[in-house]
Structure 1
Amino acid sequence: MKHRRTLLAAGAAGVLALAGMATASLPAAAASTGCSVTYTVQSQWPGGFTANANVTNLGDALSSWTLTFDFPNASQKVTQGWGATWTQAGPRVSAASLSWNGSLRTNASTSIGFNGSWSGANPVPASFALNGTTCTGSVTTPTPSPTTTSPPPNGAAPKLHASGNQIVTADGKPYRLLGVSRSGGEFACVQGKGLWDSGPVDQASVDAMKTWNIHALRVPLNEECWLGLNGSPSGAAYQQGVKEYVNLLVANGINVILDLHWTWGAYPDSPDWHCKDEHATCQKPMPDARYAPQFWTGVANAFKGNDAVIFDLFNEPYPDMPAEWNKTLGWQCLRDGGTCPGLPYEVAGMQDLVDTVRATGATNLLMVGGLEWTNDVREWLTYRPNDPLNNLAASWHAYSFNACASESCWDSQIAPLAQQVPIVLGEFGQDNCGFDYMQRLVTWADAHDLSYLAWTWNPWGCTSGAVLIKDWAGTPEPGVGEGYKAHLLTQSPYL
Structure 2
Amino acid sequence: MFGLRSKTRHRIGAVAAGFATLAAGLVVGAGRPAAAETTACGVAYSVTGQWSGGFTAEVAVHNLGGDAVDGWRLSWEWPSGQRVDHAWNAEVTTSGTQATAANAGYNAAIAANGTVTFGFRGSWTGANTAPTSFALNGVRCADAKAPTAAQQVAAMQPGWNLGNTLDSTGSDETSWGNPRITKSLLDNVKAQGFKSVRLPVTWSAHTGPAPDYTIEPAYLDRVKEVVGWALQDDLYVMVNLHHDSWQWIWNMPGDRAGVLARYNALWTQIAAAVKDFGPKLVLESVNEPQFTGSTGVDQEEQLLHELNASFRDIVRGSGSGNATRLLVLPTLHTSGDQAHLDALANSFRAFNDPYLVATIHNYGYWPFSVNVAGGTRFDATVQKDLTDTFDRAYNTFVSRGIPVIVGEYGLLGFDRHTGTIEQGEKLKFFEYFGYYARTKKLTTMLWDNGQHFDRTAYTWRDPELFAQIKSSWTTRSGTAYSDLIFSAKSTPVTAKTLTLNLNGTRFQGLRQGTTDLVQGRDYTVSGDQLTLTAALITRLSGAREYGTNAVLHARFSQGVPWRINLVTRDTPILSNATGTTSSFAIPTTFRGDQLATMEAKYDDGTNAGPHNWTSFKEFDRTFAPNYTAGTTTLTSDFFAEIQDNARVTLTFHYWSGEKLTYYITKSGTEVTGTTA
Name the structure 1 match of 2:466: 481
CA contact (8 A) 1:257 1:312 kept: yes
Structure ranking higher in helix proportion? 2
Name the structure 1 match of 2:72: none
Of 439, 445, 450, which aligns to 1:453? 445
Query: 1:237-281, CA deviations, whole angstroms, 9 ceiling, x for partnerless residues?
Result: 1111111111111011111000110225286899xxxxxxx9xxx
CA contact (8 A) 2:365 2:386 kept: no
Name the structure 2 match of 1:372: 333
Q: Show structure 2 runs of 5+ residues with no match.
A: 1-144, 368-383, 419-425, 477-676
- Partners in 2 of 1:251 and 1:225 — Cα distance? 28
The farther-off stretch of 254-263 and 385-394 is 385-394
Of 293, 298, 309, which aligns to 1:351? 309
Amino acid at match of 1:431: L
Give secondary structure in 2 for the equivalent of 1:481.
Answer: helix
Is residue 2:302 matched to residue 1:310? no
> How far off its partner does 1:373 sit?
3.7
Of 320, 325, 335, which aligns to 2:305? 335
CA contact (8 A) 2:435 2:475 kept: no
Name the structure 1 match of 2:155: 175
Query: Structure 1 pair 383/286, CA: closer, same or farther in 2 (3 Å)?
Result: farther
> How far off its partner does 1:209 sit?
0.7
> How far off its partner does 1:401 sit?
4.2
CA contact (8 A) 2:341 2:396 kept: no
- Partners in 2 of 1:443 and 1:258 — Cα distance? 27
> How far off its partner does 1:486 sit?
4.2
Query: 1:150-181, CA deviations, whole angstroms, 9 ceiling, x for partnerless residues?
Result: xxxxxxxxx98644xx1339xxxx63432211
Query: Structure 1 pair 385/350, CA: closer, same or farther in 2 (3 Å)?
Result: farther
Give secondary structure in 2 for the equivalent of 1:383.
Answer: helix
> How far off its partner does 1:204 sit?
2.1
Amino acid at match of 2:311: L
Name the structure 1 match of 2:186: 206
CA contact (8 A) 1:214 1:488 kept: no
Amino acid at match of 1:307: P
Paired residues for 1:97-116 under 5 Å = none
CA contact (8 A) 1:323 1:329 kept: yes
- Partners in 2 of 1:470 and 1:290 — Cα distance? 39
- Partners in 2 of 1:329 and 1:220 — Cα distance? 26
> How far off its partner does 1:308 sit?
1.0
CA contact (8 A) 1:317 1:374 kept: no
- Partners in 2 of 1:330 and 1:350 — Cα distance? 12
- Partners in 2 of 1:431 and 1:246 — Cα distance? 28
Query: Structure 1 pair 431/197, CA: closer, same or farther in 2 (3 Å)?
Result: closer
CA contact (8 A) 1:428 1:453 kept: yes
CA contact (8 A) 1:161 1:391 kept: no
CA contact (8 A) 1:218 1:258 kept: yes
CA contact (8 A) 1:469 1:475 kept: yes
Give secondary structure in 2 for the equivalent of 1:435.
Answer: helix
- Partners in 2 of 1:359 and 1:309 — Cα distance? 17
- Partners in 2 of 1:258 and 1:442 — Cα distance? 23
Query: Structure 1 pair 468/385, CA: closer, same or farther in 2 (3 Å)?
Result: farther
Paired residues for 1:85-164 under 5 Å = 162-163=148-149
Name the structure 2 match of 1:297: 268
Of 408, 411, 428, which aligns to 1:427? 408
**Of the two, which has the highest radius of gyration?**
2
- Partners in 2 of 1:490 and 1:416 — Cα distance? 25
CA contact (8 A) 1:335 1:385 kept: no
Q: TM-score, normalised by structure 1?
A: 0.51
- Partners in 2 of 1:315 and 1:161 — Cα distance? 26
Is residue 2:378 matched to residue 1:411? no
Name the structure 2 match of 1:219: 199
Query: Structure 1 pair 317/381, CA: closer, same or farther in 2 (3 Å)?
Result: same
> How far off its partner does 1:196 sit?
8.6
Give secondary structure in 1 for the equivalent of 2:242.
Answer: strand
Is residue 2:174 matched to residue 1:190? no
Amino acid at match of 1:359: G
Amino acid at match of 1:382: N
Is residue 2:216 matched to residue 1:258? no
CA contact (8 A) 1:188 1:197 kept: no
Amino acid at match of 1:384: F
> How far off its partner does 1:471 sit?
4.3
Name the structure 2 match of 1:444: 436
Structure ranking higher in strand proportion? 2
- Partners in 2 of 1:266 and 1:389 — Cα distance? 25
CA contact (8 A) 2:201 2:242 kept: yes
CA contact (8 A) 1:186 1:261 kept: no
> How far off its partner does 1:208 sit?
1.7
| Percent of paired sites with the same residue | 18
- Partners in 2 of 1:395 and 1:427 — Cα distance? 9
- Partners in 2 of 1:265 and 1:398 — Cα distance? 24
Query: Structure 1 pair 477/314, CA: closer, same or farther in 2 (3 Å)?
Result: same
Q: TM-score, normalised by structure 2?
A: 0.39
CA contact (8 A) 2:215 2:266 kept: no
Give secondary structure in 1 for the equivalent of 2:201.
Answer: strand
Name the structure 1 match of 2:672: none
> How far off its partner does 1:288 sit?
2.7
RMSD, aligned CA: 3.8
> How far off its partner does 1:383 sit?
2.9
Q: Show structure 1 runs of 5+ residues with no match.
A: 1-158, 271-277, 279-284, 337-348, 460-466
Name the structure 1 match of 2:620: none
Name the structure 2 match of 1:360: 318
CA contact (8 A) 2:199 2:239 kept: yes
Give secondary structure in 1 for the equivalent of 2:231.
Answer: helix
CA contact (8 A) 1:355 1:387 kept: no
> How far off its partner does 1:294 sit?
1.3
CA contact (8 A) 1:311 1:367 kept: yes
Amino acid at match of 1:290: A
Query: Structure 1 pair 384/265, CA: closer, same or farther in 2 (3 Å)?
Result: same
Name the structure 2 match of 1:79: none
